[in-house]
Amino acid sequence: MSTSFAPECNELKQKYDTCFNTWYSDKFLKGEGLHNECEDFWVQYKECIEVHLVKNGIKPLLDDVRKELPFENDDFNIKKIAIIGSGPGGLTTLNELLHTDKNGNSTLINPSSNSIYPNNPAFDEIVVFEQNDKIGGVWNYSKETDLNFSKFLNNNLNNNDYSKPENLRPHLFDINNEELKNLKNSDKSNPIIIKSSPELYEKYNKLLWNKSGVYDNLFTNIPQNLMRFSTSFNDSINKSNSKIYEPFTTHENVLNYLNDYVLKYDLLKYIRFNSSVEKVYKEDNKWFISVCKFNNELKNFEFYTEKFDAVVISIGRFNIPFYPKIQGMKEFTLNNPNIIIHSKLFRKSNDLINKKVLIVGSSVSALDIAQYLLPICELHISSNSKTISIAAADDDDDNDDKKQNKKWSEKIFSDNSLNWKKHGRILKFDNINNLIEFEDGTIEEKFDKIIFCTGYHLYYPFLDIPENENKEYISISSGFDDNNNYAMTKVDNLYLYTFTISDPTLCHTGIAHNPLFFLTSEANAISIAGVWSNNKKLPSIEIQREFIKNRFKGKKFGFQVYDETSIRDLINECYKLSPNNRFNFLPYINDGEIKKSKEILTKLFYKFSNKELNN
């Protein structure tokens, strides 16, 4: 329904929109009810439409009018869908939607359903936009890395804050670029072509932050049989030389599995490669997606806009690296351009033989890299001193249950027998004397390499545009409350970390941080297919908001983090929204498998760090 046929009602609709956007940001997100003034504007607007319809001899379509209200849209008329990203989340979403019919039934009725597509598919057209030239997302390994931190600082002419994601990944072109003024009216067959030089082309390519963070010897930290989707539980993933890692597998095997998955279900024809989504916004009940296609042959940029009924964002969690703000770090980096890197740029441990290396952070990725560096270099670890001291203090605890439940990574970090030197957080960089001072009072000099294992921002540059001003599609803030110098990872406004509460035609997959990433992304996709095919209905806005409030309650960090037990609850909630006949994969997952695998991970860590195993 649009007010374009009733221009006299536009002013009331604009007043309502302004009121709703203000109220939604300030009140509704805090759990309060609909503002009375907004209700008044809505009633007046609805009455205006009714009067107009009657005056023109048309029966008032009150249900259609009601659909204008963002949270009363019960039925969807979704025919054309865009998926952003062809990593695990994007691929399983594509496959799930393709196997759903107009009656809300799924043809994925068991793990052996193979590629039985419905005769009456629910959705007419699905397009996947992928900014790389291959599928795989984070598993798409490349020797090439993203922009070096020092090169970013050199290119950062406006001296912007490097700890903020919007400064690391700006929009590729000025939104007011004269050449792009007709972008909204362009299309794929008639794009706006912007010519470029090889240098400029390479510069913009680097700003995408689309290179994988996978390094040469990386293996999974969950068992290989959980690195699969439920529709291919019968397919082997461990096809190459990775016996020493069992029950885990190598990154090469994971990528091979994803390629086989694409071939098995014939998904390649739906994917547009080298296509970076630059804008996503909604007008007149349609989503407008503006795309920059990188023409690798001509080194040109081809821009066009396409309309969709619904959008799924599946770009993953490991794109924009977080570099914390530390006194003197910028000056130190500019004078020592090859010393500081993020773990996303790490590739080969052998490059650091006999070097002095500092790892910053106590994440799993820090341990992954440390196990290879311990036997070959002088290794130092900088972490939150409280975390290390607490872990060390608990090391002599006599409570066996407490020891068993202690995070396996903390156990390793608290091991004082390992050949590394532990420090507190970095206090400051001394550029003049090439020193680093730590919060615990220790000082070290002349590091050959400093690797920041400090995580990633969640950031969606294509939503961060003027067209979406005051639209609370997703709200992301510091992943540690009251600490702005932290990765932006705290997500608000998403029910089940899937549905945008203000507009469920915009969805996400892969946001929940948990051991069952492939299967959780699949659960997100299952719920999307069930709701968009109108087989299932979302609960009330109040219930959706309650989900987020409960996730925040009593926490200062780890808002989207689930363990192997709690993630089952989220998956079950997603499954309640599934298409008919879609089988539930949870009974196929063995309890305690993740817990047992952590014990093996610990053993492997010591074998690599003691050189019992060679990488």
Tell me, what's the pLDDT at 284? 94
Average pLDDT over every residue of 82-91: 99
Residues 502 and 407 in one domain: no
SS3 string, 429-491, reads EECCCCEEEECCCCEEECCCEEEECCCEECCCCCCCCHHHCCCCCCEEEECECCCCCCCEEEE
Place 344 in a pLDDT band, splitting at 50, 70 and 90: very high
Average pLDDT over every residue of 484-493: 93
Tell me, what's the pLDDT at 407? 76
Higher pLDDT among residues 433 and 230, named by residue: 230
Residues 85 and 62 in one domain: no
In the DSSP assignment, the letter for residue 263 is H
Residue 50, pLDDT > 80, answer: no
Residues 131 and 203 in one domain: yes
Angle subtended at Cα 389 by Cα 606 and Cα 357, rounded to the nearest 5 degrees: 55
Helix (H, G, I), strand (E, B) or coil at 153: helix
Give the Å distances, CA to CA, from 67 to 56, 61, 474, 604. 21, 10, 21, 56
Tell me, what's the pLDDT at 356? 98
In tens, the pLDDT along 16-48 reads 777 766 654 444 444 444 455 666 676 677 677
Tell me, what's the pLDDT at 406? 52
Residues 225 and 114 in one domain: yes
Amino acid identity of residue 498, one-letter, is: T
Tell me, what's the pLDDT at 23? 55
To the nearest whole number, what is the mean pLDDT of the chain?
A: 87
Residues 462 and 575 in one domain: yes
Q: In the chain, what percentage of residues exceed pLDDT 70?
A: 86
pTM: 0.85
In tens, the pLDDT along 596-610 reads 899 999 999 999 999
- Pair 201, 298: CB distance under 8 Å: no
Parallel/antiparallel/unpaired status of strands 286-295 and 300-308: antiparallel
Tell me, what's the pLDDT at 583? 96
CATH for 93: 3.50.50.60
In tens, the pLDDT along 200-242 reads 777 788 889 999 999 999 999 999 999 999 998 888 887 776 6
Count of domains for the chain: 3
Residue 59, pLDDT > 60, answer: no
Tell me, what's the pLDDT at 55? 62
Sheet of 449-452, strands arranged across: 340-342, 449-452, 356-360, 378-382, 420-423
In a domain, 489, yes or no: no
What DSSP letter does each residue of 374-404 carry, written as one string? TTTSEEEEE--HHHHHHHHHGGG---HHHHH
CA separation for the pair 596, 593 (Å, rounded): 5
Residues 341 and 423 in one domain: yes
Amino acid identity of residue 37, one-letter, is: E
By mean pLDDT, which of 200-209, 436-445, 509-518, 591-600 is the weakest? 200-209
Average pLDDT over every residue of 272-281: 97
Residues 447 and 461 in one domain: no
In a domain, 265, yes or no: yes
Residue 177, pLDDT > 50, answer: yes
Average pLDDT over every residue of 118-142: 97
CA separation for the pair 403, 396 (Å, rounded): 9
Residue 2, pLDDT > 50, answer: no
Higher pLDDT among residues 452 and 206, named by residue: 452
Place 96 in a pLDDT band, splitting at 50, 70 and 90: very high
Q: Which residue range is the domain that position 409 belongs to? A: 323-454
Output phi, psi for 573, to 5 deg.
-65, -40
In tens, the pLDDT along 567-585 reads 999 999 999 999 999 999 9
* Last residue within a domain, chosen from 20, 35, 66: 66
By mean pLDDT, which of 37-46, 185-194, 307-316, 364-373 is the weakest? 37-46
In a domain, 476, yes or no: no
Tell which residue, 486, 431, 438, has the closest CA to residue 458: 486
In a domain, 108, yes or no: yes
Place 97 in a pLDDT band, splitting at 50, 70 and 90: very high
In the chain, what is the greatest distance between 2 CA atoms, to the nearest angstrom? 86
SS3 string, 195-220, reads CCCHHHHHHHHHCCCCCCCCCCCCEC
In a domain, 72, yes or no: no
In tens, the pLDDT along 532-569 reads 999 999 999 999 999 999 999 988 989 999 998 999 99
Phi-psi label, residue 595: left if phi above 0, alpha if psi -120 to 50, beta otherwise: alpha
Residues 201 and 297 in one domain: yes
In the DSSP assignment, the letter for residue 136 is -
Average pLDDT over every residue of 384-410: 46
Tell me, what's the pLDDT at 455? 95
In a domain, 110, yes or no: yes
Residues 262 and 202 in one domain: yes
Tell me, what's the pLDDT at 468? 94
Tell me, what's the pLDDT at 57? 56
Place 386 in a pLDDT band, splitting at 50, 70 and 90: very low
Instruction: Work out the end-to-end distance of the chain between its first and last CA atoms, rounded to an integer number of angstroms.
Output: 61
Place 70 in a pLDDT band, splitting at 50, 70 and 90: very low
Residues 307 and 337 in one domain: no
In a domain, 481, yes or no: no
Average pLDDT over every residue of 135-142: 97
Give the Å distances, CA to CA, from 280 to 20, 33, 287, 467. 21, 29, 7, 9
In a domain, 201, yes or no: yes
Residues 134 and 167 in one domain: yes
- Partners of 500 in the β-ladder: 494
Residues 125 and 255 in one domain: yes
* Last residue within a domain, chosen from 429, 454, 479: 454
Average pLDDT over every residue of 117-146: 97
Parallel/antiparallel/unpaired status of strands 340-342 and 449-452: parallel
